[in-house]
């Protein structure tokens, strides 16, 4: 009987041991927490680059997509003879310099999606602080380009954040307009929804929306985009920012709902 | 309010991790076993086969004695959460307080239903009283499922809170139902329901394996051989459909948040799926091995034995393909060594086209093993037996062809089209399983026996396969728990409440494996002790030592 018990024990412990060894034999990757950064007014580009590189390769989680070059452009390698990201970032959008382009790519990633890739990039401002975002931009600029990020950029972001925090009536759009066309432009809606035959079709087109959805459904879709995903757009679920409820005033929201409901 | 407590030696995170995991293992057992206990009782009642009724009672006896351990570990978990993570727990209770009260109420109702169900077994054993007793078993499942669904809402809220909830949202302003029925709630419910059946079946089978090896009489050996077979049948049978529930869950995670999906499959957790593939490969191999060895006690099974080597070959090739790494995080030196982002040779096998094809063929092969086992000692008497068998064979060939066709075609289309192919592959396999079973049931009605199954005449080595199965299932449960919880990374509630404790970083797989192994040892050690105690109190009534199965 003891022999049987020992054999069973050996099989059980041997199996557990095998799995434990196997899991320890593969590459060990820990998911780190992005370290909170705090820079003074005399921060040097080198300090920003170093902090940005650490984030890019670690806790920022950037390499999960950008490291491979299959899900998102590989930022560290040359692309189409344009060099790595620091060299090509200034050429991406006419009239937008490298720093502005990279910043917008991070906080409004759907505004410009590189051809051949899906719009899967999240808004990094949901998980990273302004200092972390600017240090990432500095690191990316250093990959083949000139680093133009300075302490002034960090200070400007900080000031803007304070303005918003103490700002009026919660309207974070930057304007109090209730003109739906202007709102659609300010909120970058037409980057993903076609209107008047223009724009990309990452989400359902605004054209004809009033014949497909009731005003109540349109309101829900703006405030809680994950509540219902239109057929045919399932692969883009999660792309639409869920924070319009806090970015629009009630009047702005109703102006948009009324405008879209009238698109029949 | 203080944000975090401190636990000596192992730290708060590991303390909660172990408490949650061991509680979950016991909970999975006590929720899974009633499902097949009530089915076994129904077979006993409506099939007038008393063996199944006794088997069901023995399942329930194991359940009864595991129940208090589940509650104890649940209490440990709650106390750890309240003392070690008070800020997070306050957030959860403010949103979910009503469901927590209902949960506690259901726990009482479920416990007393279980007591009535078990202790009323002999009192209500015939006529309408027996149907009433069986109804208690059904109620037990209803309460258990409700308990599971409520607990799932809490943990899935942590993964996929409603998009309207932000770090600035007061918990009091969160709408209860939107938090409860969140994006991953139903996929987790379904996945766990099936997984609990798999897990419960494997624990019962291992229990039977132990009792078989320590049996002193042929009757005892026959009884536990049969019980082990039934437990393994339940575990592997439910395992076959589990990957489909897994796909559904994965798809919902991607739809909820692409970043979370990528973290899970292609980010820091990408290697975890290679380990998972290895473990599932072991499950398929051990489950099939047990069946093939079991054919040795079935008269007539020898005609099928030559096929087993080919089935083994398919399974091994399937495991190799499924375990092939592909989209892994690599540093620049590793990328240069590979000559690109993927290995030039292995990269071809590591893609989803190849992996989906491999796993679907493994499922078909395992189903074929079951079919041969079931047919081994039967001789159909219906006039259309030959045609029926040819149609069954044809269904297998068609399913394999569909799986292979879309597997190869997947290399020539874009990713978004390729993802859709897995649905066709799965549907082909499921349709074949349903169609073949339907034909088989009709064809074997009134069939002649080639001889009774010699229950108990099973080589001891077969029983060790049952131990490999239970360890692997338990370890896999721990691994998948780490995956589900770990993809939140440093968030208590994804992008709503950040983990600011010293344990916020999500550990690498090596450390996770050590904790999982500790949990598995604690669970298996405790459950072995509990079963041993139960055996001291009551001896089961043994079933006849032979039968047609």
- Measured between CB atoms, does A239 come within 8 Å of chain B? yes
Segment A83-107 shows an average pLDDT of 87
Task: Give the tokens for residue B186.
Answer: 């139903």
- Measured between CB atoms, does A27 come within 8 Å of chain B? yes
- Measured between CB atoms, does B469 come within 8 Å of chain A? no
pLDDT band at B184; cut points 50, 70, 90: very high
Rg (CA), chain B: 24
- Identify the sign of the CA torsion B531, B535, B538, B543: positive
Task: Give the tokens for residue B545.
Answer: 């030592």
Segment B421-444 shows an average pLDDT of 92
Burial of B487 per CB tally in 10 Å (0-12, 13-18, 19+): buried
How many residue contacts between A and B have a Cβ separation below 8 Å? 150
Q: Is the pLDDT of residue B522 over 80?
A: yes
Whether B436 maps to a domain, the answer reads no
Task: Give the number of domains in chain B.
Answer: 1
Burial of A148 per CB tally in 10 Å (0-12, 13-18, 19+): middle
Backbone angle region of B541, left / alpha / beta, with phi > 0 → left and psi within -120 to 50 → alpha:
beta
Q: Do B521 and A127 touch (CB under 8 A)?
A: no
Nearest to B169 by CA among B519, B464, B495: B495
Apex B420 CA angle, B418 and B424, nearest 5? 110
Q: Do B505 and A224 touch (CB under 8 A)?
A: no
Nearest to B275 by CA among B342, B236, B328: B328
Whether B92 maps to a domain, the answer reads yes
pLDDT band at B47; cut points 50, 70, 90: confident
Q: Which residue has the higher pLDDT, A63 or B201?
A: B201
Q: Is the pLDDT of residue B548 over 50?
A: no
Query: Rounded CA gap, A11 and A17, in Å?
Result: 10
pLDDT band at B77; cut points 50, 70, 90: very high
Task: Give the tokens for residue B290.
Answer: 């047990």
CA B215 to chain A, closest CA, distance in angstroms equals 10
Q: Which residue has the higher pLDDT, B115 or A177?
A: B115
- The CA distances from residue B200 to A66, B41, B46, B67, B195, in Å, are 42, 16, 24, 13, 8
Long-range contacts of B347-354 (CB under 8 A, 24+ apart): B349/B320, B349/B321, B349/B324, B350/B324, B350/B325, B350/B326, B351/B326, B351/B410, B351/B411, B352/B410, B352/B418, B352/B419, B352/B422, B353/B406, B353/B407, B353/B408, B353/B410, B353/B411, B353/B418, B353/B421, B354/B321, B354/B324, B354/B407
Whether B269 maps to a domain, the answer reads no
Q: Do B467 and A20 touch (CB under 8 A)?
A: no
- Measured between CB atoms, does B138 come within 8 Å of chain A? no
pLDDT of residue B494: 93
Q: Is the pLDDT of residue B493 over 90?
A: yes
Which helix (DSSP H) or strand (DSSP E) does residue B524 occupy?
A: helix B509-537
pLDDT of residue B333: 64
Task: Give the tokens for residue B151.
Answer: 């607990």
pLDDT of residue B397: 96
Contact A131, A54 (CB under 8 A): no
pLDDT of residue A262: 87
Share of chain B above pLDDT 70, in %: 93
**Residues of chain A positioned with their CB less than 8 A from the CB of B520:** 16
* B385-409 vs B352-375: helix crossing angle, rounded to 10: 170
- The CA distances from residue B296 to B180, B215, B454, in Å, are 51, 20, 9
B346-361 burial, b for 16+ CB within 10 Å, e for fewer?
ebebbbbbbbbbbbbb
Contact B236, B287 (CB under 8 A): yes
Q: What is the 3-state secondary structure (H, E, C) of B469-516?
A: HHHHHHHHHHHHHHHHHHCCCCEEECCCEECCCCCCCECCHHHHHHHH
pLDDT of residue B543: 55
Segment A253-258 shows an average pLDDT of 88
* Superfamily, domain A45-165: Cytochrome c-like domain (1.10.760.10)
CA A205 to chain B, closest CA, distance in angstroms equals 20
Residue ranges covered by each domain of chain A: 45-165, 180-261
- Measured between CB atoms, does B179 come within 8 Å of chain A? no
Q: Is the pLDDT of residue B31 over 70?
A: yes
- Measured between CB atoms, does A68 come within 8 Å of chain B? yes
Nearest to B74 by CA among B31, B16, B115, B33: B16
Segment B327-345 shows an average pLDDT of 63
CA A236 to chain B, closest CA, distance in angstroms equals 7
Task: Name the average pLDDT for chain B.
Answer: 89
CA A81 to chain B, closest CA, distance in angstroms equals 18
Share of chain A above pLDDT 90, in %: 13
pLDDT of residue B539: 63
pLDDT band at A223; cut points 50, 70, 90: confident
pLDDT band at A68; cut points 50, 70, 90: low
Alpha-carbon torsion, ordered B243, B244, B249, B254, to 10 deg: 100
pLDDT of residue A31: 83
Segment B427-434 shows an average pLDDT of 93
Nearest to B252 by CA among A235, A223, A217: A235
- Identify the sign of the CA torsion A25, A31, A36, A41: positive
Q: Do B255 and A238 touch (CB under 8 A)?
A: yes
- Measured between CB atoms, does A67 come within 8 Å of chain B? yes
**Residues of chain B positioned with their CB less than 8 A from the CB of A122:** 257-259
- The CA distances from residue B95 to A246, B22, B457, in Å, are 21, 25, 57
Segment A212-232 shows an average pLDDT of 84
Query: Rounded CA gap, B515 and B465, in Å?
Result: 24
- DSSP label at residue A253: H
Task: Give the tokens for residue B234.
Answer: 């339940």
Segment B152-178 shows an average pLDDT of 91
Q: Do A246 and B499 touch (CB under 8 A)?
A: no
Nearest to A73 by CA among A146, A130, A143, A131: A143
Backbone angle region of A253, left / alpha / beta, with phi > 0 → left and psi within -120 to 50 → alpha:
alpha
Whether B320 maps to a domain, the answer reads no
Q: Which CATH class is domain A180-261?
A: mainly alpha
ipTM: 0.90
- The CA distances from residue B317 to B309, B359, B473, in Å, are 12, 10, 21
CA A6 to chain B, closest CA, distance in angstroms equals 12
Dmax (CA) for chain A in angstroms is 84
Whether B489 maps to a domain, the answer reads yes
Q: Is the pLDDT of residue B38 over 50?
A: yes
Contact B191, B249 (CB under 8 A): yes
Residue for token pair 């026996």: B449
pLDDT band at B429; cut points 50, 70, 90: very high
Q: Do B255 and A234 touch (CB under 8 A)?
A: yes
pLDDT band at A170; cut points 50, 70, 90: very low
Distance of CA A234 to the CA centre of its chain: 18
Distance of CA B194 to the CA centre of its chain: 6
Per-residue pLDDT of B205-260, as tens digits, reads: 999 999 999 888 999 899 999 999 999 989 988 888 888 888 889 888 888 887 78
- Measured between CB atoms, does B471 come within 8 Å of chain A? yes
Residue for token pair 């600011």: B500
- B199 contact partners, CB below 8 Å, separation of at least 6: B25, B28, B29, B32, B235, B473, B474, B477
Q: Is the pLDDT of residue A164 over 50?
A: no
Residue for token pair 């349709």: B431
Whether B447 maps to a domain, the answer reads no
Residue of chain B nearest A64, judged by CA positions: B267
- Domain span holding position B204: 1-243+481-505+524-543
Q: Are domains A45-165 and A180-261 of this chain identical in fold?
A: yes
Segment A233-242 shows an average pLDDT of 72
- Measured between CB atoms, does A223 come within 8 Å of chain B? yes
E strands in chain A:
none
Segment A144-168 shows an average pLDDT of 71
Q: Which of B21, B162, B164 to mutate to test the interface with A (most CBs of A within 10 A)?
A: B164
Task: Name the average pLDDT for chain A.
Answer: 81
pLDDT of residue B327: 62
Q: Is the pLDDT of residue B464 over 70?
A: yes
Share of chain B above pLDDT 90, in %: 62
Q: Which of A28, A33, A36 to mutate to test the interface with B (most CBs of B within 10 A)?
A: A33
- Measured between CB atoms, does B255 come within 8 Å of chain A? yes
Which helix (DSSP H) or strand (DSSP E) does residue A51 occupy?
A: helix A45-57
Least confident of A184-198, B15-29, B510-524: A184-198
Per-residue pLDDT of B90-149, as tens digits, reads: 999 999 999 999 999 998 999 999 999 999 999 998 889 999 999 999 999 999 999 999
The pair phi, psi for residue A243, each rounded to 5°, is: -105, 20
Residue of chain A nearest B420, judged by CA positions: A235
Query: Rounded CA gap, B59 and B201, in Å?
Result: 10
- B318 contact partners, CB below 8 Å, separation of at least 6: B281, B284, B358, B359, B361, B362, B365
pLDDT of residue B188: 96
pLDDT band at A171; cut points 50, 70, 90: very low
């Amino acid at each position: 009987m003891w022999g049987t018990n020992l054999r069973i024990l050996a099989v059980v412990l041997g199996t557990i041991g095998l799995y434990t060894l196997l899991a320890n034999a593969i590459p060990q990757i820990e998911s780190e927490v992005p370290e909170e950064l705090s820079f003074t007014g005399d921060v040097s580009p080198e300090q920003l680059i170093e902090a940005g590189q650490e984030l890019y390769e670690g806790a920022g989680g950037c390499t999960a997509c950008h490291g491979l070059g299959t899900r998102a452009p590989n930022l560290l390698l040359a692309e189409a003879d344009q060099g790595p990201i620091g060299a090509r970032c200034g050429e991406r959008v006419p009239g937008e310099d490298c720093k502005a382009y990279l910043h917008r790519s991070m906080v409004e990633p759907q505004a410009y999606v590189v051809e051949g890739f899906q719009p899967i990039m999240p808004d990094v401002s949901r998980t990273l602080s302004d200092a972390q975002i600017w240090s990432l931009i500095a690191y990316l600029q250093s990959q083949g380009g000139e680093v133009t990020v300075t302490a002034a950029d960090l200070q400007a972001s900080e000031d803007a954040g304070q303005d918003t925090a103490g700002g009026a009536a919660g309207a974070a759009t930057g304007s109090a307009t209730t003109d739906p066309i202007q709102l659609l432009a300010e909120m970058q809606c037409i980057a993903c929804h076609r209107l008047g035959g223009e724009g990309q079709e990452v989400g359902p087109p605004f054209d004809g929306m009033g014949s497909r959805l009731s005003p109540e459904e349109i309101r829900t879709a703006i405030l809680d985009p994950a509540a219902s995903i239109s057929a045919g757009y399932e692969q883009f679920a999660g792309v639409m920012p869920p924070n319009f409820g806090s970015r629009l005033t009630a009047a702005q929201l109703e102006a948009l709902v009324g405008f879209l409901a009238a698109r029949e | 309010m203080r944000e975090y407590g401190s636990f000596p030696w192992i730290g708060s995170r590991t303390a909660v991790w172990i408490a949650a995991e061991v509680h979950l293992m016991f909970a999975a057992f006590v929720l899974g076993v009633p499902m097949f206990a009530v089915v076994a009782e129904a077979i006993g009642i409506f099939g007038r086969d008393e063996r199944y009724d006794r088997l069901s009672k023995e399942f329930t006896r194991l359940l009864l004695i595991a129940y208090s351990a589940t509650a104890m570990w649940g209490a440990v978990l709650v106390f750890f959460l309240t003392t070690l993570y008070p800020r997070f727990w306050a957030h959860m209770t403010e949103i979910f307080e009503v469901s927590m009260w209902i949960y506690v109420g259901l726990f009482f109702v479920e416990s007393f239903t279980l007591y009535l169900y078990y202790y009323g077994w002999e009192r209500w054993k015939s006529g309408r009283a027996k149907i009433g007793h069986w109804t208690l078993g059904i109620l037990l499942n209803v309460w258990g499922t409700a308990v599971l669904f409520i607990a799932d809402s809490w943990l899935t809220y942590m993964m996929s809170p409603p998009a309207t909830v932000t770090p600035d949202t007061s918990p009091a302003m969160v709408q209860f139902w939107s938090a409860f029925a969140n994006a991953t709630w139903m996929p987790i419910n379904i996945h766990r329901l099936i997984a609990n059946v798999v897990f419960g079946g494997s624990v019962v089978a291992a229990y039977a394996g132990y009792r078989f090896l320590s049996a002193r009489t042929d009757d005892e050996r026959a009884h536990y051989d049969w019980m082990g077979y039934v437990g393994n049948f339940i575990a592997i049978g439910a395992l076959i459909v589990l990957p489909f529930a897994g796909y559904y869950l994965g798809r919902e995670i991607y739809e909820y948040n692409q970043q979370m999906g990528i973290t899970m499959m292609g980010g820091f957790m990408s290697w975890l799926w290679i380990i998972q593939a290895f473990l599932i490969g072991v499950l398929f191999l051990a489950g099939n091995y047990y069946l093939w060895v079991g054919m040795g006690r079935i008269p007539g099974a020898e005609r099928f034995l030559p096929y087993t080597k080919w089935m083994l070959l398919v399974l091994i090739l399937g495991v190799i393909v499924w375990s092939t790494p592909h989209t892994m995080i690599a540093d620049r030196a590793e990328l240069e060594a590979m000559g690109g982002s993927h290995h030039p040779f292995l990269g071809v096998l590591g893609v989803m086209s190849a992996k989906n094809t491999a796993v679907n063929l493994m499922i078909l092969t395992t189903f074929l093993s079951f079919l041969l086992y079931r047919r081994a000692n039967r001789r159909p008497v219906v006039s259309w037996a030959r045609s029926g068998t040819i149609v069954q064979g044809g269904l297998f060939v068609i399913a394999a062809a569909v799986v292979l066709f879309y597997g190869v075609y997947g290399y020539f289309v874009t990713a978004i089209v390729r993802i859709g192919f897995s649905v066709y592959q799965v549907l082909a396999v499921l349709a074949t399983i349903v169609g073949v079973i339907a034909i088989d049931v009709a064809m074997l009605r009134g069939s002649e026996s080639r001889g009774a199954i010699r229950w108990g005449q099973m080589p001891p080595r077969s029983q060790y396969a049952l131990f490999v199965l239970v360890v692997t299932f338990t370890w896999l449960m721990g691994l998948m728990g780490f995956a589900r919880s770990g993809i939140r990374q440093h968030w208590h509630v994804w992008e709503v409440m950040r983990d600011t404790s010293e344990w916020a970083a999500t550990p690498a797989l090596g450390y996770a494996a050590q904790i999982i192994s500790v949990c598995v040892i604690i669970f298996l050690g405790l459950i072995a002790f509990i079963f041993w105690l139960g055996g001291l109190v009551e001896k089961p009534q043994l079933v006849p030592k032979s039968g047609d199965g």
